Amino acid sequence: MAAAGSAPAQPAAGQSPGGLRAGFARADITPGQPVLLAGYASRKELSQGVHDPLSARVAVFAEGGRSVVLVSTDLIGYYGETSGSMRQAILEACGLEPEELFLTAIHTHGGPQLGHDPSRLPPSNVEYTRWLEGRLIETVGAARSRLAPAQVASGSGACPVGVNRREPVRDKDGKPSIVLGRNPLEPVDREVQVLRIAGADGSARAVLFAYPTHSTAMGPRNLRITGDVHGIAEQFLETYLGNGLIAAAFAGASGNIDPWFRVLPEFRAERGWVPEAVLLGTFLGEEAARVIERVPAGSADGPVRSVFRTLRLPGKPRNEEAAPADHPPTELNVTVGRVGEVAWVGLGGEIFNEIGSAIKAASPFRMTVVVTHCNGAAGYLPIAAAYPQGGYEVRSSPFAPGAAEQLVSEVARMLNEIRDGR
Ligand SMILES: [Zn+2]
């Protein structure tokens, strides 16, 4: 497989190696006016009010002249032209190397659609996208200006909020197919990975947590702005832990995972909030809080390293079942980093849960956090066994069978590279 990209960053000249430092910042990114919400093509009306606010949260880790910048945004993701432009704007304005930035989104379907094209989007969305770019640059800058000695502790829990959504059904002639529903028979990796970052005095300054599910509990009829499951979990943790602590969420390998509940058909919103998203978000946040209270003391050791590559994986046309023999490969951005003994794998697509488990199993690190919707939005990446079954993710995927296996082996190679200290 051909791979294009940059080599691991070298320490910048004039900077001496030192202990681990970290800095954090949070900014409100709730749209100030009605916008078109992203995620469901059926929804044509603009948003009507705010269920819960959206934020951008940034964690910067630095050691020995290298840094890793994790940006978590309560948005659906960076699709189309914003996939490259938003990232490029941050890299240039902040003077970062491509491998240093993990620009991610929690994949809420209750946030604004991003884009710069006024012929495709309402003016408020175009204006919001332009404003967001400046806001993210500012927030990354703020986090970098606050770098201070830090200790990282990690732990994991489990949470049953996510379920495999590929439900097998039969039509009246007995013909099988897969619909978007609930398939509790499929095993799912439900790990909640949690990092607690403390200052030199041992007091917590930030929590980072990853969990694999779509943030879609509010469903396609919702018109209120919301961070949905992940966003509500962040807000729960920040309220519960207090002290101005920042809790940033990351969507794990969730291409085929939905929240256990979506809104009931009646859409009971008259009491001011919608119970399903609040219930599931709080459930996830509670588990992260439980892990936080049990993690051992952290480590102040680096190293901090990262590598960015654009992989070329077997491709197929979107919305077709099979690929012609000469179909060109599909690109997927992969960013792999480490902060001490914790590895981060950022994938620019919606990868199936099983692929995340395979990456974790193949990793030489004690904890490997798989993050989707990171540095790109190539589309769904199913496992080989899903192709003969069909269904929404397989049909709309730009990847062909074999892509998952190549991805896992290439990510394992990248993890070993940064493990070996290059
Ligand atoms: Zn999705």
What confidence tens digit (pLDDT) does each residue in 185-212 have?
999 999 999 999 999 889 999 999 999 9
Whether 12 is in a domain gets the answer no
Percent of the chain scoring above 90 in pLDDT: 83
Element (H, E) at 170: strand 166-170
What single string gives the DSSP state of each residue in 362-383? H-SSSEEEEESSBS----EE--
Whether 9 is in a domain gets the answer no
Range(s) of the domain holding residue 324: 19-419
pLDDT at 420: 86
pLDDT at 9: 46
Whether 30 is in a domain gets the answer yes
Measured in angstroms, how far is the CA atom of residue 78 from the centroid of ligand 1? 12
pLDDT band, residue 157 (cuts 50/70/90): very high
What pTM was computed for the model?
A: 0.93
Measured in angstroms, how far is the CA atom of residue 217 from the centroid of ligand 1? 12
Whether 2 is in a domain gets the answer no
pLDDT at 17: 41
pLDDT at 263: 73
Measured in angstroms, how far is the CA atom of residue 300 from the centroid of ligand 1? 36
Measured in angstroms, how far is the CA atom of residue 214 from the centroid of ligand 1? 6
Whether 13 is in a domain gets the answer no
Measured in angstroms, how far is the CA atom of residue 253 from the centroid of ligand 1? 11
As a whole number, mean pLDDT of residues 264-286 equals 78
Higher-pLDDT residue of 221, 131: 131
d(CA 246, CA 24): 7
Whether 5 is in a domain gets the answer no
Residue 269 has pLDDT above 80, yes or no: no
Residue 244 burial (10 A CB sphere; 0-12, 13-18, 19+): exposed
pLDDT at 325: 81
Q: Are 190 and 141 in contact (CB under 8 A)?
A: no
Q: In this structure, what is the dihedral angle of CA atoms 119, 122, 125, 129, given to the nearest 10 degrees?
A: 20
The C-alpha angle with vertex 257 and arms to 251 and 258, in degrees rounded to 5, equals: 95
Which residue is it, tokens 């970290």? 22
pLDDT at 14: 34
Whether 3 is in a domain gets the answer no
pLDDT band, residue 41 (cuts 50/70/90): confident
Q: Tokens at residue 213, please? A: 């599910």
Tally the domains of the chain: 1
Whether 105 is in a domain gets the answer yes
